[in-house]
Amino acid sequence: MRLMFSSDRQHPDAAAIEWLAAELAARAPHTAVAGPWRSGSFGCLARSGALAGFIPADCGGADAAETAVVALLATVAERCLTTALVLTQWAAACRIIAAGPPAVRSARLPPLARGETATTVGISQLTTSRRHLAAPALVAARDGDDWRLDGVCPWVTAAAACDTIVTGAPTAAGEPVFFVVSTAAAGLEIEAPMHLLALSGSLTAGVRFAGVRPDDVIVPAPGGGVRTGGLATTALALGAARAAVALLEGEAAARPALAAAAAGLRTETHALAADLDAAARHGAEADVRDALRVRANGLVVRSAQAALTATKGAGFVTGHPAERLAREAMFFLVWSCPPAVSSAVICDLAGLEA
């Protein structure tokens, strides 16, 4: 395993990140179809030491600072957005496990840091999906000394490729409790992966629970529920925007008329990266995080559209990088958007003041 994070934990190691970026880019076409587990991209994350950065030091990890994590996510997204999406879901699962009892932490996290086991998270039913329904999508009930899960997780990335799923459900009292569930558990059914506008290689699918008994239970501390609107989604949008700007710059090398547009978008990516780093370094309130996400959404969509326009008809053919980037940019309009972000993005698209 390479040393991705130095002792100060603030920045990824340059040599390790360069190696990882090259490996992910080389595997990206296969990853887009088969997913990062089968393409070997997730194995590259483990060998580079990247996974360890998300794990506490007392559980075999490197406990990287958020500035380093944000920089890593942007780099991964620039080379392969499918891998970056799967990584964020793996990291979210690890973050919930890290909040669990010591026995769960010590058993689960070290092999995850080494890439020996695989996990993902299924908590959209607690955040942005199906909150408008009268009954919860997934329900947790006591069954003697154990728990029983019934219902559905509508969006679970890479479920079929993982050993466990970390999910959450409300109890009868309405309080959320989190669970680590084996994907081989009796009563658990992973549906066929969805055919998405983009990122189908993430193998995102619904997961159904019929009397499933979880392996581990994690009761969050007061105020320790699920938080949306973090910096990871903004980091991925920044990385995707950088990929689109790089394509536009390639076109501008042969067509000088495009140079000003490419330079302007590149300057915008630099400004967003600086503000994102500051938010990671010093912390940011929800309104600041939301504002960064709105900026990132606008930037990635405009950059991808500019790249597509510059490549003309060739970019409109399936398989061209511009076509893929344009589809992937749409993902940020629907992924983990808090209401304030969604409203601001719609107003921006409509030319209205938020």
Q: Domains of the chain by range and CATH?
A: 14-118 (1.10.540), 120-218 (2.40.110.10), 232-349 (1.20.140.10)
**Running DSSP on this structure, what letter comes out for residue 137?**
S
Say if residue 130's pLDDT is above 60: no
Nearest to 98 by CA among 186, 221, 191: 221
Query: What average pLDDT does range 95-101 have in this prediction?
Result: 96
What contacts 92, CB < 8 A, 6 or more positions away?
Answer: 121, 123, 166
pLDDT (average), residues 224-250: 87
**Residue 14 reports pLDDT greater than 80:** yes
Rounded average pLDDT over 48-63: 94
Q: What is the phi/psi pair of residue 228, to 5°? A: -100, 170
* Of 17-26, 119-128, 223-232, highest mean pLDDT: 17-26
CB neighbours of residue 116 within 10 Å: 10
Look over the chain and give the mean of its residue pLDDT values, rounded to a whole number: 92
Range of weakest confidence among 125-129, 169-173, 179-183, 330-334: 125-129
User: pLDDT confidence of 349, banded at 50, 70, 90?
Assistant: confident
The residue-averaged pLDDT of 236-254 equals 98
> Given a cut of 80, is residue 228 above it in pLDDT?
no
Mean pLDDT of 165-181: 90
pLDDT of residue 224: 55
pLDDT > 70? residue 243: yes
Average pLDDT over residues 329-352: 88
Mean pLDDT (whole number) for 62-80: 96
Q: From CA 220, how far away is CA 168, in angstroms rounded?
A: 10
Residue 91, C-beta contacts closer than 8 angstroms, at least 6 positions apart: 54, 69, 232
Where residue 20 falls among pLDDT bands split at 50, 70, 90? very high
Q: Which of 317, 25, 337, 28 is nearest to 201 (CA)?
A: 28
Q: Does 7 score more than 80 pLDDT?
A: no
Residue 199 φ/ψ region, left for φ over 0, alpha for ψ in the -120 to 50 degree band, beta for the rest: left
Percent of all residues in the chain with a pLDDT value above 90, rounded to a whole number: 80
Whole-prediction pTM: 0.94
Give 171's pLDDT tier (boundaries 50, 70, 90).
confident
Reference 133, options 78, 170, 185, 84; nearest CA is 170
Count of H-run helices and E-run strands, the chain: 11, 8
What is d(CA 216, CA 71) in angstroms, rounded to the nearest whole number? 32
